Amino acid sequence: MSLSEISEEMGISRQAVSETLRRIDIRLQGYDKELGLISKGGRIGGYLGELRDLLAGAGYVSVKAADKKGIEKILKKIEEEL
């Protein structure tokens, strides 16, 4: 939705919508700074990539085919959660 559409629907000015969105953005950035979720997600994604590379390079030497599929399924689920 555009600022105009929001302001019309809410019965407030576009300036009020813009200011509210700016304050929300600042607050969300503060939450992320405290919680570190975005950077944590990036690090976890990197670790998953490293793990996938290691598993591919090792060729899952001593892992059964069924276990390989299970590992890939778990990696995919984790990546989807990020």
Measured CA distances, 16 to 20, 26, 46, 78 (Å): 6, 15, 40, 39
- Examine the domain organization and report whether 27 and 53 are in the same domain: no
pLDDT at 13: 94
| Domain encompassing residue 21 | 1-35
- Examine the domain organization and report whether 30 and 44 are in the same domain: no
| Domain count for the chain | 2
Q: What are the tens digits of pLDDT across the range 1-46?
A: 898 999 999 999 999 999 999 999 999 999 888 888 888 888 888 8
- Examine the domain organization and report whether 29 and 43 are in the same domain: no
- Examine the domain organization and report whether 23 and 61 are in the same domain: no
- Examine the domain organization and report whether 4 and 31 are in the same domain: yes
Cα–Cα distance between 77 and 82 in angstroms, integer? 9
Cα–Cα distance between 42 and 52 in angstroms, integer? 15
Is residue 58 predicted with pLDDT exceeding 70? no
Q: What are the tens digits of pLDDT across the range 70-80?
A: 778 888 888 78
- Examine the domain organization and report whether 31 and 43 are in the same domain: no
Cα–Cα distance between 74 and 72 in angstroms, integer? 5
